[in-house]
Amino acid sequence: MNDKVIAYQGVEGAYSHLACKNALPKSISIACESFEDAMKLVENKTADFAMIPVENSTAGRVEEIYRLIPKSSLFIVSEHFEPVNHCLLGIRGSKLKDIKYIGSHPQALAQCYKNIIDLNLTAVAKFDTAGSAKEISDRNDKTYAAIASKLAARLYNLEILREYFGDLKGNVTRFIILSRENTIPEFNKNKNYITSLIFHVRDIPAALYKALGGFATNSVNLLKLESYSMTGSLQVSRFHIDIEAHPNEKKYKLALDELQFFAKEIKYLGVYEKHIGRENYQLTS
């Protein structure tokens, strides 16, 4: 994946930018205004990959992504866990006592909620973390602060008023790396793999229970189960699952046979190696 172009949402200094630099250090990063724009750059061959956040250990899942992925033609080829150290940033010369307003992405605001309340600050939702840092740098007003990374502080010449501003230690965001190519790693019994799927169940009693039963009876570990309403309906739910298995394994094939009997419109999202970060971090489900 080195020497490739990878798109991300945000501006320079965003946590997605940090994830690109850490996961693919030799890649060329392209900033985009939205997650959808980043994914479209891959679809139209301007970029090779998109770095997309899907969940955070403090604030939970990134809702928008679960609406975009079903409509996308891209595949998950890797996952990356990026530690998140939120910093409270102000303009040069400012002090904590000067701050009245604090801006950042809603996820970052949620992850620093207790500290924001303790300081009696007015939270203002912004498009992204690094963008809020750039905004207060341009504003040059001591009453405004931002929650962003140390990289953003350096890029926009800001003062770090408090380095560890997140409510919880060990905060981490899980990213998926999307590609146009459905690259399936060769099965190695000494490695662990994740296969991601989307489906919705048939309109029969206990359909979800029966659809997932094949994973239990075939000893396939279900790592993640997310449900959300399909567009235009409050009655039909779509399910996203991450399972610990490779498509070449017999247990996977047997479990999928049972899933296909009770589910419909199953969409394969990709298979990829289980990231070592899963051993070190506990994500909110």
CATH number, domain with residue 53: 3.40.190.10
Whether the CB-CB separation of 11 and 131 falls below 8 Å is answered with yes
Catalytic residue ranges: 173, 175
pLDDT along the chain (285 residues), means of 10: 86 92 93 95 97 87 88 96 94 96 92 95 93 96 96 95 90 94 94 95 84 94 85 69 96 94 91 85 54
Residue 186 falls inside a structural domain:
no
pLDDT at 62: 86
Same domain, 201 and 227: yes
Same domain, 74 and 140: no
- CB burial class (10 A; 0-12, 13-18, 19+) of residue 154? exposed
pLDDT at 146: 97
Number of domains the chain is built from? 3
Same domain, 37 and 60: yes
pLDDT at 285: 43
pLDDT at 2: 59
**What's at 187, amino acid-wise?**
F
Any alpha helices (H) in the chain, and if so which ranges?
15-23, 35-43, 63-68, 106-111, 113-118, 129-139, 150-155, 207-217, 250-262
Residue 262 falls inside a structural domain:
yes
pLDDT at 239: 92
Q: Whole-angstrom Cα distance, residue 72 to residue 114?
A: 36
Q: Whole-angstrom Cα distance, residue 176 to residue 159?
A: 31
pLDDT at 63: 83
Give φ, ψ of 197 to 5 degrees. Answer: -140, 155
Cβ-proximal residues to 279 (8 Å cutoff; 6+ apart), any chain:
none
Domain holding 264, by residue range, is 193-275
Residue 282 falls inside a structural domain:
no
Look-up of token digits 């419109």: 265
- Among 136, 153, 179, the domain boundary falls at 179
Residue 280 falls inside a structural domain:
no
Residue 283 falls inside a structural domain:
no
**What is the value of pTM for the model shown?**
0.86
In angstroms, the Cα distances linking 180 to 6, 39, 45, 193, 265 are 12, 10, 8, 20, 20
Same domain, 14 and 75: yes
Same domain, 262 and 219: yes
Same domain, 61 and 128: no
pLDDT at 18: 92
pLDDT at 28: 95
Same domain, 271 and 197: yes
CATH number at residue 224: 3.30.70.260
Same domain, 17 and 32: yes
